[in-house]
């Protein structure tokens, strides 16, 4: 198998699986229990909480809430702020190209009477800072903008956005950092809130975090116990959370080496795919090394994707969180791509485990699929 769908999920590190199994067996106590075994679990959980914050340079200014995934963390951040600070105003801002967990949270709030502004992007798929600046008002209470786009790998200038947002003291800035954590160096200290998932960085599915300024409050979405200082009810997954700490530690330690390797592979893929007449490269030149998005002008992407799958090659079309019900990429449409390009995109996403040999095999197989699959009539 050649696995080029790492933006959807990554293979867990061996050491992460080993730690998870060990803790599940040896330290299964509920971290909320009052007895000594519960206190031991609580201590280990707090150590991981502080270590994750420290790894990101946020331990002095921010607090961390363990969640089940980035989608839950995004909802907690967006709805939590909107509900808690509604007395300040009901105007909130995001972009047209966010992950479904962000866009759908904003749409839900829109249905509840909140005024939502969806910022347009340029041809590279990025919001120009001046566009955000002209959209800000004194009644705006929240801006949520991703750090890296999950379909194209486009990098957003979050520090510039933060400077604009913080000119308005009633407004908070949230960043969905799911595709940037461990892949590209960013300064998150200016973010009021950020969220990401464990399974994108060699951790396990079912774990994520919401990090927020210590001075902030949010309205919790779950009613229940007082876990996570009352911000998220439910028993915390100790083994998964501690394993996420290890996954982040390992990923950040190897970030430079992983970037260099992925950059070389991506450049090769970009050059080879650009030689094919019907291929249009959608990822901007300065996108992260781990994501390459292309469109086909003669073949239907779903047909090509299935043909590749039958040959043991895994790539994706639109976001894995919307691919089964979203025949067209709203991200590419927002970038100004026509319907053919937006309906026939393929995303190749890399990890530290991918090799140049796999990339060469992919190009050979991809060319073979295009030459042996009927095109044009399938494209619309």
C-alpha distances in angstroms, 291 versus 150, 252, 299, 351?
A: 8, 18, 21, 9
SS (H, E, C) the chain: CEECECCCCCCCCHHHHHHHHHHHHHCCCCCCCCCHHHHHHHHHHHHHHHHHHHHCCCCCCEEEEEECCHHHHHHHHHHHHHHHCHHHCCEEEEECCCCHHHHHHHHHHHHCCCEEEEECCCCCCCCCHHHHHHHCCCCEEEEECCCECCCCCCECCHHHHHHHHCCCCCCEEEEECCCCCCCCCCCCCCCCEEEEEHHHCCCCCCCEEEEEECCCCCCCCCCCCCCHHHCCCCCCCHHHHHHHHHHHHHHHHCHHHHHHHHHHHHHHHHHHHHCCCCEEECCCCCCCCCEEEEEECCCCHHHHHHHHHHCCEECECCCCCCCCCCCCCHHHHHCCCCHHHHHCEEEEECCCCCCHHHHHHHHHHHHHHHHHCCCHHHCC
* First and final C-alpha spacing in the chain: 30
- Provide the annotated active-site residues: 321
> Are 4 and 346 in contact, with CB atoms under 8 Å apart?
no
C-alpha distances in angstroms, 82 versus 77, 113, 201, 248, 367?
A: 8, 11, 29, 29, 49
The number of angstroms, rounded, from the C-alpha of 49 to the middle of its chain's C-alpha atoms is: 20
């Amino acid at each position: 198998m050649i696995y080029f769908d790492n933006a959807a999920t990554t293979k867990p590190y061996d050491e992460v699986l080993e730690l998870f199994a060990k803790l599940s067996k040896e330290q299964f106590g509920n971290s909320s229990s009052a007895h000594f075994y519960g206190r031991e679990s609580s201590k280990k959980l707090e150590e991981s909480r502080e270590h994750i914050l420290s790894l990101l340079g946020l331990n002095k200014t921010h607090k961390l809430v363990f969640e089940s995934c980035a989608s839950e963390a995004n909802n907690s951040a967006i709805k939590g702020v909107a509900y808690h600070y509604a007395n300040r105003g009901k105007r909130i801002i995001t972009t047209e190209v966010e992950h479904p967990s962000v866009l759908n949270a904003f749409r839900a709030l829109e249905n509840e009477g909140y005024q939502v502004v969806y910022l347009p992007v340029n041809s590279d798929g990025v919001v120009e800072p001046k566009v955000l600046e002209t959209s800000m008002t004194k009644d705006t209470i929240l801006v949520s903008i991703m750090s890296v786009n999950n379909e194209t790998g486009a990098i957003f200038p979050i520090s510039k956005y933060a400077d604009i947002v913080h000119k308005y003291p009633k407004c908070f800035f949230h960043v969905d950092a799911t595709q940037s954590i461990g892949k590209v160096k960013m300064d998150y200290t200016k973010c009021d809130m950020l969220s990401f998932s464990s399974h994108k960085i060699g951790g396990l599915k079912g774990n994520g975090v919401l990090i927020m300024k210590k001075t902030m409050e949010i309205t919790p979405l779950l009613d229940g116990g007082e876990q996570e200082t009352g911000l998220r009810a439910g028993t915390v997954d100790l083994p998964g959370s501690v394993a996420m700490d290890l996954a982040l530690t390992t990923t950040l330690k190897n970030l430079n080496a992983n970037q260099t390797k992925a950059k070389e592979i991506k450049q090769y893929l970009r050059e080879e795919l650009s030689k094919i007449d019907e291929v249009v490269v959608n990822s901007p030149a300065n996108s992260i090394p781990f994501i390459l998005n292309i469109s086909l002008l003669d073949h239907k992407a779903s047909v090509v994707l299935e043909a590749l799958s039958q040959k043991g090659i895994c790539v994706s079309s639109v976001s894995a969180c919307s691919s089964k019900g979203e025949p067209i990429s709203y991200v590419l449409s927002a970038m100004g791509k026509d319907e053919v390009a937006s309906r026939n995109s393929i995303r190749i996403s890399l990890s530290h485990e991918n090799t140049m040999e796999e990339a060469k095999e992919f190009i050979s197989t991809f060319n073979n699929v295009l030459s042996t699959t009927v095109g044009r009539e399938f494209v619309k």
